[in-house]
Chains A and B, each alone.
Chain A
Amino acid sequence: MDINATLIGQAITFIILVLFTMKFVWPPLNGMLEERAKRIADGLAAAEEGKKQLLNAESKVADELKKVHARANEIVANAEKLAHQTIDDAKLKAQLEADKIIANAKSQLEQDLFRMREDLRQQVSDLVIKGAEQVVRAEIDKSRHEKLLAQLKAEL
């Protein structure tokens, strides 16, 4: 063992190496490793967050679907109700219209009947008057009286 100035030289080399490592080697390498660790942690957190959001979205979609189903059912029920109502209304209207038409027809018929009866009465009365005229005339001509009456009878 001979200790000599090599010790001082080696110590200086050692100090230079340590200082260099401290300045230019350790900080970038360690920083890079920390950055990577941070990125991995961030990535895992993001994945976890994504999973949670997916679950949320799924439950939301299920909720929405349920709501939409309910709404659709409601709409269909409303439509059916409306259709029924429309049909009922139409039926009622048609019935009313039909009743009105029937009533109109009836009243027309009655009017016509009445008019025809009036006409008939008029004609009958005319004939009666004619007959009476004939009869009155025949009073003067007795022989022809009965003949005329028979003629009238046949006419009626």
Chain B
Amino acid sequence: MASTTEYIVHHLTFNNVTLSGNEGGFWSLHIDTFAMSAILGFLFIAIFAIVARRAKVEAPGKFQLFIELIVDMVNTQVRDIYHGKSKLIAPLSLTIFCWVFLFNLMDLLPVDLISWVNHMTGNPEAHWRVVPSADVNTTFAMSLSVLVLIIGYSISAKGLGGWTKEVFTKPFGSSPILWPVNFIFQMIELVSKPISLALRLFGNMYAGELIFILIALLPAGAQWALGGPWAIFHILIITLQAFVFMVLTIVYLSLAVEDH
């Protein structure tokens, strides 16, 4: 029996594969995160593409109605928040919501399920973390993509000159003395968006995962007393976090195209 610390560390270690040949450093890949998110992403687009292909205007099935419910929810949010016309924002929001929801949903898998599978398949020491959103790489990958879109939308709405002017003249005024202050404020605002997006999701999911691991350390007969309520509460958290990530993305993009 491993010690408590070893148990926790084992559960929080990624299945890391180096790309450059040296251990550690930037050029390495979390195979578990990458594979899980790819599988979940494929699941998402497969289900939605099949439903979209078979969608009937009249007499839709129950599953189609369920998918429509999600599409309609996303559509309502986009219409309420983003007032311009964009072919990208609605599909982007749908992808974010569903993908992040599926990431978070993995948090509800029993923490030792994967370890048990590893034991059964003869790799007791293998690491495999199933919650891709508890990996900063995933959350930052998404939030930095959103940052690129924010900048792109700003430039396409206001022009490169217009956006540059805004960066130097707002929020305090157009006097040249204020340019550096304005610029610093704008950059802080810009950079804080992806950081807050990424860390909010990561923090919630990482904490949730950690608490599940801690609950798993309790005696077997007592785990349900804490694990049950926490799992039920977590159903709310995972949906809410997916929703928040989506809504904030729409809000940021809508702020990018509107004048301050």
Contacts and interface: CB of A to CB of B under 8 A. Distances in A.
Interface string B69-99: 0011001000000000001101110110001
B55 A18 contact: no
Interface in B120-155: 132, 135-138, 140-142, 144-145
B142 A14 contact: yes
5 A-B pairs closest in CB distance: A10-B141, A6-B137, A26-B91, A22-B91, A11-B141
Interface in B29-45: 29-30, 33-34, 37-38, 41, 44-45
Given A4-B26, A11-B141, A33-B68, A25 B48 contact: yes
14 contacts: A5-B27, A9-B141, A10-B141, A11-B144, A14-B95, A21-B45, A21-B95, A22-B91, A25-B94, A26-B94, A29-B55, A29-B68, A30-B75, A39-B57
A17 to B, nearest CB: 5
A26 B90 contact: yes
A10 B44 contact: no
Given A24-B49, A25-B48, A30-B75, A7 B91 contact: no
Contacts of A26: 71, 90-91, 94
Interface of B: 16, 19, 24-30, 33-34, 37-38, 41, 44-45, 48-49, 51-53, 55-58, 67-68, 71-72, 75, 87-88, 90-92, 94-95, 99, 132, 135-138, 140-142, 144-145
A48 to B, nearest CB: 21
A28 interface: yes
Nearest to A38: B57
- The B interface is mostly helix, strand or loop, or mixed, namely helix
A147 interface: no
B26 A5 contact: yes
Contacts of B68: 29, 33
Interface residues of A, number: 31
- The A interface is mostly helix, strand or loop, or mixed, namely helix
B70 to A, nearest CB: 9
Contacts of A5: 19, 26-29
B171 to A, nearest CB: 31
Given A17-B45, A35-B57, 11 more contacts: A2-B136, A4-B16, A8-B141, A14-B145, A17-B44, A21-B92, A22-B88, A25-B94, A26-B71, A33-B72, A39-B58
Contacts of B71: 26, 29-30, 33
Nearest to B74: A26
A15 interface: yes
A15 B29 CA distance: 18
A10 B139 CA distance: 9
A156 interface: no
A150 interface: no
A35 B58 CA distance: 10
A3 B53 contact: no
A36 to B, nearest CB: 5
A18 B16 CA distance: 26
A62 interface: no
Contacts of A11: 141-142, 144-145
